[in-house]
């Protein structure tokens, strides 16, 4: 139930993932139906010899000095408390009789629905709060976050994606208005400054 790390520093995340895809990793008659890597999570639909399918998760991380990457493996019946499993894998896994796995799958669906709603709301011009300040979303930078302007002085910043997500969660919880807002003050044009510190 613990972590397994490679004793070779040259073993990285790609090598760990490749080992999961090798037939010799799994017991006889067990197959990987489909897999996906999301960040440092390796997700797979596994089929046992008896035809039963389940979701497998390997959490991966680099080891301490002198060690390569390692992993800790779980399956959905353990309710791993990570919900970024691709929805397509849930469909391939088929039904499960495990109450814990059913609860976990509901959490995965909720995670993806919440993310879909946040992405639908995040549009240039939207004003949201973060850290007690109001910011207007200017340009989506993908995984790097958003260019934003602080309302009080027009200063430009790059806001991390997780910071924008936190502000959007506040919007979606009904605590703020979801409509893009016009600010009745002079608009300043300022160069983008360093990222906000959380």
* 2 pLDDT above the threshold of 90: no
Among the ranges given (136-145, 147-156, 168-177), the one the predictor scored with the smallest mean pLDDT: 168-177
**In the chain, what are the helix, strand and coil shares in percent, each to the nearest 5?**
30, 25, 40
**Measured between alpha carbons, how far is 37 from 57 in angstroms, rounded to an integer?**
10
| Locus of tokens 């890597």 | 37
pLDDT band at 115 (very low <50, low <70, confident <90, very high): confident
pLDDT at residue 72 in the model: 96
pTM for the predicted model, two decimal places: 0.71
Query: Considering the chain, what is the average pLDDT of its residues?
Result: 86
Q: Of 11, 92, 24, 16, which is closest to residue 54 (Cα–Cα)?
A: 92
Q: Check whether 184 has a pLDDT greater than 50.
A: no
In residues, how long is the chain?
A: 198
pLDDT of residue 1: 61
DSSP label at residue 173: I
Backbone φ and ψ for 138, nearest 5 degrees, come out as: -110, -55
- pLDDT score for 122: 85
* Cα–Cα distance for residue pair 162/131, rounded to 1 Å: 13
In this predicted model, what pLDDT tens digit does every residue of 64-114 receive, in sequence order? 988 999 999 999 999 989 999 999 999 999 999 999 999 999 999 999 988
């Amino acid at each position: 139930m613990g972590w397994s790390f490679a004793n070779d520093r040259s073993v990285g995340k790609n090598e760990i993932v490749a080992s999961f895809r090798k037939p010799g990793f799994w017991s006889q008659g067990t197959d990987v139906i489909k897999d996906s890597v999301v960040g440092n999570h390796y997700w797979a639909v596994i089929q046992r010899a008896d035809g039963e399918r389940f979701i497998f998760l390997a959490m991966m991380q680099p080891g301490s000095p002198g060690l390569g990457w390692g992993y800790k493996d779980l399956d959905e019946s353990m309710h791993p408390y990570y919900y970024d499993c691709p929805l397509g894998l849930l469909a391939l896994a088929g039904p499960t009789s495990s109450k814990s796995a059913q609860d976990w799958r509901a959490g995965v669906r909720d995670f993806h629905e919440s993310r879909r709603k946040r992405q639908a709301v995040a549009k240039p011009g939207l004003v949201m709060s973060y850290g007690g300040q109001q910011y207007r979303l200017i340009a989506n930078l993908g995984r790097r976050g958003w260019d934003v302007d602080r309302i009080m002085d027009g200063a430009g910043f790059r806001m991390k994606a997780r910071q924008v997500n936190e502000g959007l969660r506040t919007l979606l919880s009904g605590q703020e208005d979801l409509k893009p807002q016009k600010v009745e003050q002079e608009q300043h044009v300022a160069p983008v400054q360093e990222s906000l510190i959380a």
